[in-house]
Amino acid sequence: MTRLLPDWFVERINPVPDEDDLPVSTLELFFDLIFVFTVAQFTALIAYDPLMGLIQTVLMFGFVWWIYAGYAWLTNVIPPERPARRTLLLCAMAGWLVIALTIPAAFKEEGGVWIAVGLLVVVLVHGLMYLQAARAFGPVFIANLVAVAAVFAAELGPDGVWRYALWAASAVIVWTVPIWHGQRGLNLHPAHITERHGLVVIVALGESVVAIGIGAAGLPIDADLLVAAVLGLAIGACLWWSLFVHDLPQTEHALTATKDAVKRVRKVLVGLSYAFIPVLVGILVTAAGLKHAVGHAMEPLDLASTLLLSGGVALFLLGTAGLRASMPLPRAWERVVLAVAVLALAPLGLVNTALQLGAIVIVLVAGLAVERKLATRAPKPAPSE
């Protein structure tokens, strides 16, 4: 394949000899911060209209997360160490900013095609850079462009079912790529790819704290505000603990122990891409629920808000269960049981907001404590091959 960019712009890629020599760069951290704005836009959609906002979020997030995760893969094989690569990533950041700004209008008549333009920019930059390192990425690049074309058709066409169907088509196109693409010719470094996906979750968890601040704007400083805010932070801390204390470190070890490059890529796809959809959507849904809860701790919530709070946490836990099952890590079923227990707490919010928030915290803390006790008694799993 001929090079798609001139040599003076993108130099020939050299493989990274040692996986431990690939730290996450400050530019990648800067890049991830755009996700704060993107997450905030999705959270606002869900908080404004829980049902339609959630539907629109799932449809858009399907494509957005695929491409965003793709940039974690990109910098895994092409570290942004040279000026040309950094310049291209900065251009992609501009495209992501356009996407974030236009998310609220994507399903409205005045939406226009700007979100599709932003997606085209990030897909082109991503694809042209990735092809410098892996020719096997070519079919994936084509699929990404077809998905962008579906978004253009959605935004140029009439509002309504047509737009929803084409956005759904764009997500289906990209997420079915691993079914027909054999993943040969791709390789990933375990420590870097695990850390990059973890950083996205940290950014999203930070958005749940931002949601508390937004919900508190203009409210009096009283128990209604402070109790809900502190309990909301406690829920976020439990979600952090459930993923980062054991699961992500063990995920890195499992990927490192998987010496076959194709098997490793497939584990990343299932565990850090597919399973992270409910993880991240769960954070968005929880943050939307917290926006409604802050300032109303001593009052009952409406049904939609109670479902957002418990349902968001349950989605997150189900995503971590998927991560465990994909590596594989032990006791994925524990997270399913914990998710069901948290979801069962939703009716408490109809009585009192603080009661539901407090019950979620208690169940999460108790569940994580039981997990820790069981983990200390169980034998260590055999290394993956």
Residue-level pLDDT at 382: 52
In the three-class reduction of DSSP (H, G, I as helix; E, B as strand; rest coil), residue 382 is classed as coil
The arithmetic mean of pLDDT across residues 257-264, rounded, is 89
Reply yes or no on whether the pLDDT at 18 is more than 70. Answer: no
φ, ψ of residue 69 in degrees (nearest 5): -65, -30
Least confident residue range of 24-28, 87-91, 190-194, 378-382? 378-382
23 token code pair: 């730290």
Reply yes or no on whether the pLDDT at 208 is more than 70. Answer: yes
The 3-class SS string of 251-308 reads HHHHHHHCCCHHHHHHHHHHHHHHCHHHHHHHHHHHHHHHHHHCCCCCCCCCHHHHHH
308 token code pair: 């957002």
The span from the CA of 258 to the CA of 193, in Å, is 14
Please report, rounded to a whole number, the percentage of residues in the chain having pLDDT higher than 90.
56
CA distances from 165 to 7, 12, 144, 239, 273 (A): 41, 41, 17, 33, 23
Residue 50's nearest CA partner among 287, 300, 357 is 287
What is the set of domains in the chain, with CATH numbers?
Answer: 27-180 (no CATH), 190-377 (1.20.1410)
Question: Per residue in 360-384, pLDDT tens?
Answer: 999 999 999 999 888 787 665 555 5
Reply yes or no on whether the pLDDT at 244 is more than 90. Answer: yes
Q: Look up tokens 């040969």; give the residue.
A: 184
Q: How confident is the model at residue 38 (pLDDT cuts 50, 70, 90)?
A: confident
Q: Virtual CA dihedral for 10, 93, 39, 196, nearest 10 degrees?
A: 30
The arithmetic mean of pLDDT across residues 77-97, rounded, is 91
The arithmetic mean of pLDDT across residues 144-167, rounded, is 92
Of these ranges, 129-143, 184-198, 294-308, the one predicted with the greatest mean pLDDT is: 294-308
Reply yes or no on whether the pLDDT at 20 is more than 70. Answer: no
157 token code pair: 């066409």
End-to-end CA distance of the chain: 33
Q: What's the DSSP call for residue 105? A: G
Residue-level pLDDT at 158: 83
Reply yes or no on whether the pLDDT at 96 is more than 90. Answer: yes
Please report, rounded to a whole number, the percentage of residues in the chain having pLDDT higher than 70.
91
The span from the CA of 40 to the CA of 100, in Å, is 9
Reply yes or no on whether the pLDDT at 385 is more than 60. Answer: no
Of these ranges, 63-77, 190-204, 340-354, the one predicted with the greatest mean pLDDT is: 340-354
Residue-level pLDDT at 366: 96
Reply yes or no on whether the pLDDT at 11 is more than 60. Answer: no
The span from the CA of 264 to the CA of 256, in Å, is 8
The arithmetic mean of pLDDT across residues 334-341, rounded, is 96
CA 76 to chain centre: 17
Task: Look over the chain and give the mean of its residue pLDDT values, rounded to a whole number.
Answer: 87
